[in-house]
Structure 1
Amino acid sequence: MKQAKRPKSAMIRRNRLVAYTFLLPNIIGFVLFILIPVIASFLMSFTSWNGFGQIEFIWFENYQNLIGDPNFRISFVNSILFTLISVPITLFLSVLIAIALNRGIRFVKFFRTAVFLPYVTATIAVAAVWQLIFNPTMGPINGTLMKFGIDNPPGWLSSTSWALVSVSVVYIWHSVGYYMVLFLAGLQNIPEHLYEAAELDGAGPLAKFFHVTLPMLSPVIFFTMIIGVINSFKVFDLIYVLTGGGPGRSTHVLVYDIYNTAFKQFEYGYASSMAYVLFLIILIFAFIQFKGQKKWVNY
C-alpha cells in the first residue's frame, strides 16, 4: 500500500508545483504593484512628506485636517452628486436597452456591438470627441440649439452649473454598454416558463416586467449597483481631459483631488489620507447595499 501511495503523492506534489509556477507571476505582480503600495500608502497617510527629504510622522493630523478642509468637502459633495446622477441613469438605460435587444429584433448583433463599442474605446479618445461635441461655438449640440432659436446656449464644459452634468452624460454614454451586457446575460438566464405561467394568470407586459423580470434580475441589479458606485467614485480620466477639475472646482471629485494633492502640490501624506477616506466611503456604501439587499434581492 505504501509503494502505491508514493507515485500518487509525487504526482500531487508535481501538480501543485506546476500550479504555483503558473500562479507565481500573478502573485509577484500583486505583491509588487498592489499589496506593497497599499501598505506603503497607508503608512504614508500618517506622515508629512513632499517626496524629498525626511519623512515626518504626524499620526492622525492629516485625517483631522480633512474634517475642516473646504476643498475636500467640495470634492466629496461633487463625488456624491456625480454618483447620484450617473449610476441610476446608467442602470436604468442599461436595463431598457438590454430588454430591447433581448427581444430578437433585426440586426441585433449590430446594435449590441454599437452600444458596447464606447466602453472598449479609449477613455481619452472618448473625452476628446466629446470636447468637440460640447464646443460652445462649433459643437453640434449648441449649433442645433441655435437653429431652434436659443441664442445663448450653455457653455457645457465651461459653466459651473453644467460642467458636472456634462461629464456625467459622457460617463453614462461610455459605461452603459458594459452594464447592458450584464443585464442581457441576466435576462437570457430567466426561465421562459415563468413568463408562460404569468401569461396563464392573465399578466400583461408591465405585470410580467415588474413581477417576473425585475425580481429575477435583482441579483444582477445588486451587482451592478455595487460596481456602479465604486466606478463612479473612481472617475478621473474623463474629468482630467474634459475639464481639468474646472471651471473653478465644479468638477473636482475625490480622485482628481487626490491626484492634484499628490502630484501637483506634492503632499503625499495628505493625499494618502484622502485616498483612505475615499476607501472608507466606498466601504460604507457597499456595506449599506449588502445589508439592504436581503430585503429585495431574489436568489
Structure 2
Amino acid sequence: MENKLKKSLIAYLFILPAMIFLVIFVFYPIVASIPLAFYNYSVLGQSKYVGWANFTRALHDHVFWISVENSLLFVGVVPPLQVLSIILAILVNRKIRGISFFRALYYIPVVTSMVAVSITWGWIFDPQGLLNSFMISHGIFSKPISFLNDPRFALLSLMFITLWQGLGYYMMIYLAGLQSIPKELEESAYVDGATKTQVLFRITIPLLKPYIWLCTFMSVLSAVRVFDVVYVLTNGGPGNATMVTSLYSFQKAFTNFDFGYSSAIGLLVAILTTTLSILVFMYGGRKGGMSYY
C-alpha cells in the first residue's frame, strides 16, 4: 500500500508543473472571463454592470451570426479530413523500405507553425502565385483568381489549408489504431476467402470506430475554434466572408477594447462547442464505440 502511494505521489509530482501552467494560463482566465461578460468593462475608467445586455447585443449582432455560420461551415472539413487521414494511415501502415521517412514527411505540417504555413499558402494562393501560374499555363484558368480576396473562394481556401495541415496529425492516431488491430483477425478472414475490400470494411474500419469518433470529436472542436490561419491570411475578410467566432471575439477585445462583449461572445461559443461535443459523444457512444474509453 505504501509503495503504491509513493508511486502515485511521484506521478502527481510529474503532473504538477503542467497543472500549474494550465491553472495560471488556461483555467483562471476562463473563470475570470465569466463575470466580465456581465459588465461594460473599462480598462482605464470604471466598469459598469449591465447584466444580460452583452448577450442580448450578441443575439442581435449580424456579424456575430455570420461568424457562427462560418465557424460551423469549418466543421465541413471534418468528414473529408477523417476519410483522407484513414486512407493515408492505411497507405503508410506497410512494411516497406523507407516508410518511416514518409510517415515523418506527412507529419511535418503538424509540427510547423500555423503562421508559417499560412504565409506559405498565402504565396501559393496569390494571384501571381504558384497555383494561378500552374492553372493558367495548363489552360485551366483564363485569368488569375484572387482566392483569398474573393468571397466565393476565401473560406474554402482556408478550409483546405486546415485540412492539409491536420492530415498528418490524425494519420498518426489512425496508424496507432491500425497497428493495435490483431493481425490474426485479418489473416483468418483472408483464409476464409475474404477480399482486401471486405477485410477493410468489415474488420479494419469497425475496429477503428473508437479512434474515428475520438478524432472526429477533436477535429470538430478545432474547426469551431479556428483562429490563426484566418487572422494571418484574411483577418475575417473580404467583407466578413471568413469571419469566425474566435477572430470576432479577439477583434472586439483587442481592437475595440470591448472586453465585456468579447467575453459574452466567448461564453456563447463555449456553449456551442459544448453542445457539439455532447452530440459527438452521445452518437459516438452508441454507434462509434467511444464507450470503450
TM-score bracket for the superposition, by shorter chain length: over 0.9
Q: Deviations over 1:73-107 (max 9, x none)?
A: 100000011111x2112111110110000122332
Q: CA deviation at 1:24?
A: 4.6
1:106-117 pair list within 5 angstroms: 106-117=97-108
Query: Normalized against structure 1, the TM-score is what?
Result: 0.90
Q: What residue number does 1:143 align with?
A: 133
In terms of mean alpha carbon deviation, does 28-37 or 99-108 score higher?
A: 28-37
Q: CA deviation at 1:153?
A: 3.6
Alpha-carbon distance between aligned partners in 2 of 1:208 and 1:231, rounded to the nearest angstrom: 32
The structure with more radius of gyration: 1
Q: Do residues 59 (structure 1) and 51 (structure 2) align? A: yes
User: Quick one: structure 1 residues 218 and 60, their matched pair in 2 at CA, closer, same or farther if it must change by over 3 Å?
Assistant: same
Q: CA deviation at 1:168?
A: 0.9
Query: Are the equivalent residues in 2 in contact too, given 1:154–1:162 (CA < 8 A)?
Result: no
Unpaired runs of 5+ residues, structure 1, are 1-7
Q: Deviations over 1:259-282 (max 9, x none)?
A: 111101111011001111111111
Q: CA deviation at 1:140?
A: 1.2
Q: CA deviation at 1:28?
A: 3.3
1:270-289 pair list within 5 angstroms: 270-289=261-280
Alpha-carbon distance between aligned partners in 2 of 1:156 and 1:250, rounded to the nearest angstrom: 12
**What is the aligned counterpart of 2:247 among 256, 268, 283?**
256
Q: CA deviation at 1:35?
A: 2.6
Q: Do residues 39 (structure 1) and 31 (structure 2) align? A: yes
**What is the aligned counterpart of 1:73 among 65, 74, 80?**
65
Alpha-carbon distance between aligned partners in 2 of 1:113 and 1:13, rounded to the nearest angstrom: 39
Amino acid at match of 1:108: I
- Percent same amino acid at aligned positions? 35
Q: Do residues 167 (structure 1) and 158 (structure 2) align? A: yes
Alpha-carbon distance between aligned partners in 2 of 1:116 and 1:245, rounded to the nearest angstrom: 28
Amino acid at match of 2:208: L
Q: CA deviation at 1:27?
A: 4.0
Q: What residue number does 1:5 align with?
A: none
Amino acid at match of 2:85: S
Q: Do residues 93 (structure 1) and 46 (structure 2) align? A: no
SS at match of 1:114: helix
Q: CA deviation at 1:228?
A: 0.2
Query: Are the equivalent residues in 2 in contact too, given 1:183–1:217 (CA < 8 A)?
Result: yes
User: Quick one: structure 1 residues 17 and 121, their matched pair in 2 at CA, closer, same or farther if it must change by over 3 Å?
Assistant: closer
**What is the aligned counterpart of 1:83 among 55, 75, 78?**
75
**What is the aligned counterpart of 1:134 among 109, 125, 129?**
125
Alpha-carbon distance between aligned partners in 2 of 1:102 and 1:22, rounded to the nearest angstrom: 33
Q: CA deviation at 1:18?
A: 6.5
Q: What residue number does 2:218 align with?
A: 227
Q: Do residues 206 (structure 1) and 203 (structure 2) align? A: no
Q: Deviations over 1:48-80 (max 9, x none)?
A: 114221111111111111111100110000001
Amino acid at match of 1:201: D
Alpha-carbon distance between aligned partners in 1 of 2:95 and 2:278, rounded to the nearest angstrom: 38
Alpha-carbon distance between aligned partners in 2 of 1:207 and 1:13, rounded to the nearest angstrom: 49
| C-alpha RMSD of matched pairs (Å) | 2.1
In terms of mean alpha carbon deviation, does 179-188 or 288-297 score higher?
A: 288-297
Q: CA deviation at 1:15?
A: 7.7
SS at match of 2:208: helix
The list of structure 1 runs, each at least 4 consecutive aligned residues, that deviate by more than 6 angstroms after superposition, is 11-20
SS at match of 2:236: coil
Q: CA deviation at 1:22?
A: 5.2
Equivalenced residues, count? 289
Alpha-carbon distance between aligned partners in 2 of 1:30 and 1:168, rounded to the nearest angstrom: 29
